[in-house]
């Protein structure tokens, strides 16, 4: 049942993406806007550095959580592998490679590596949800109650079905939630939460910069809300890099701030295109300075261990 609900949600998002593309897609307009950004060295530098430092911070948070005396580069490369593969594969398999990349160290086992990555993702989702909800209240955003309750209902039903049907998953989830609770009440936990928030704040600068190029008066706080809402929607990832999901959620979120649909869609395309370009450049870096064999990569992707 949960599989059908998830597939139904993905199909609905795909239909929305096709509709908004048919309505708002203008190749020449998109190309012109993208060319202006690429030719603006100052703006492009701000976007690149902000996005780069966001991932540096994510890697540092992961290192703080694991705390096994392993060098920072391994965590940074692991985060980048997750980013690159999520932009290459139609499923979010990057985290499996991130798990394997850490687990290849003798100091961290596979189970401990899984826990660290899952806990980081759960904290990410919690903070993104908090930003999206808190921002909506603070900014006075008026959203369709039907849309909000539909999304919450789908997620809630999936969680309930998983907890009912998967006993081992239920035990694992409760264990991870307990771990997160312990983190939140520790000194290191406060630092972890602050750094994760900072990473999302840095990532929002990319959207803020792109929107400014369009001459749209979108505030930074609004950009932070839109970015958080969009990234949270990637739980319905069904294509490389979340193509379709990303554009649908961001286009909808931007129209909340009275941004015309054509501009909203183009901003989403350009912003997402920048992130694809960034991930592929990081992929070149990994091939040159942190290569792993195809056999090892495939084994990590196929591995299923409770």
Digit-coded pLDDT (tens) for 144-154: 555 555 665 66
Angle formed by the axes of helices 94-103 and 294-302, nearest 10°: 110
What sign does the CA torsion over 121, 243, 80, 33 have?
negative
Per residue in 7-38, pLDDT tens?
Answer: 666 777 778 888 888 888 899 999 999 999 99
Q: What is the pLDDT of residue 88?
A: 87
Average pLDDT of the residues of the chain: 84
pLDDT value for 286? 96
Contacts of 250 (CB under 8 A, 6+ apart): 207, 226, 229, 230, 264, 267, 268, 271, 272
Going by pLDDT thresholds of 50, 70 and 90, the confidence category of residue 306 is very low
Confidence of residue 178 (pLDDT cuts 50, 70, 90): confident
All residues at 6 or more sequence positions from 241 whose CB lies less than 8 Å from its CB, including other chains: 86, 87, 88, 272, 275, 276, 279
**What pTM, to 2 d.p., does this model score?**
0.86
């Amino acid at each position: 049942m949960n599989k059908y609900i998830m597939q139904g949600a993905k199909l609905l998002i795909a239909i929305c993406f096709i509709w908004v593309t048919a309505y708002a897609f203008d190749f020449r307009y998109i190309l012109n806007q993208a060319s202006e950004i690429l030719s603006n060295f100052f703006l492009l530098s701000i976007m690149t550095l902000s996005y780069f430092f966001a991932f540096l911070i994510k890697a540092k948070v992961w290192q703080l959580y694991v705390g096994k005396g392993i060098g920072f580069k391994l965590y940074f490369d692991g985060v980048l592998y997750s980013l690159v593969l999520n932009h290459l594969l139609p499923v979010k398999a990057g985290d499996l490679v991130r798990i394997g990349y850490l687990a290849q160290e003798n100091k961290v086992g596979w189970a401990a590596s899984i826990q660290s990555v899952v806990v980081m993702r759960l904290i990410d989702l919690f903070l993104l949800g908090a930003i999206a909800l808190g921002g909506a209240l603070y900014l006075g955003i008026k959203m369709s109650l039907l849309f909000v309750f539909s999304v919450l209902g789908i997620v809630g039903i999936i969680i309930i079905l998983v907890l009912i049907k998967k006993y081992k998953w239920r035990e694992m989830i409760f264990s991870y939630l307990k771990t997160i609770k312990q983190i939140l009440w520790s000194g290191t936990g406060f630092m972890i939460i602050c750094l994760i928030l900072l990473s999302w704040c840095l990532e929002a600068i990319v959207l803020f910069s792109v929107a400014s190029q369009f001459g749209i008066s979108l505030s930074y706080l609004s950009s932070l809300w839109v970015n958080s809402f969009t990234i949270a929607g990637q739980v319905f990832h069904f294509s490389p890099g979340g193509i379709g999901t990303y554009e649908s959620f961001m286009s909808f979120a931007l129209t909340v701030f009275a941004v015309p649909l054509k501009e909203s869609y183009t901003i989403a395309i350009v912003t997402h295109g920048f992130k694809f370009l960034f991930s592929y450049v990081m992929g070149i870096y990994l091939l040159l300075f942190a290569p792993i064999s195809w056999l090892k990569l495939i084994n990590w992707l196929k591995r299923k261990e409770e």
